[in-house]
Amino acid sequence: MVFGYNHNIMYKGEIFHVQTEDSGVTNPHIITLLYRDGLIISSKKTDYADILKIENLAVIVEELMQEQHKEMMRSLKAGAFDEKVFSFMA
């Protein structure tokens, strides 16, 4: 069982932190947060209540977590949050 993923990413001279966690079957959602200096820049939450009864749930949830985590990092590197992060720094 994977509890979560954490990565620090250097982007445009700043360090960002990406964190992804699974809340478990009693609260079936995956949440990914993007931080800079302790502030949440972006979040994404995916509910998976509709697949709780599938046979290989743990494997599927881990794949969903990995993809959501990677997507947040790709979005950061693609500049999706630049205006939000860097506009007030100038």
Kindly state whether residue 19 falls inside one of the protein's structural domains.
yes
Kindly state whether residue 34 falls inside one of the protein's structural domains.
yes
The H helix count followed by the E strand count for the chain is 2, 4
pLDDT, tens digit, 9 for 90 and up, residues 3-50? 799 999 999 999 999 999 999 999 999 999 999 999 999 999 999 999
Kindly state whether residue 22 falls inside one of the protein's structural domains.
yes
* Dihedral pair phi/psi, residue 26, rounded to 5°: -75, -20
* Dihedral pair phi/psi, residue 78, rounded to 5°: -85, -5
Total structural domains in the chain? Answer: 1
Kindly state whether residue 68 falls inside one of the protein's structural domains.
yes
Q: Is there a contact between 61 and 5 (Cβ–Cβ < 8 Å)?
A: no
Kindly state whether residue 90 falls inside one of the protein's structural domains.
no
Kindly state whether residue 87 falls inside one of the protein's structural domains.
no
**Across the chain, which distance is largest between two alpha carbons, in Å?**
52
Boundaries of domain holding 48: 4-82
Kindly state whether residue 23 falls inside one of the protein's structural domains.
yes
Q: Is the pTM of this model over 0.85?
A: yes
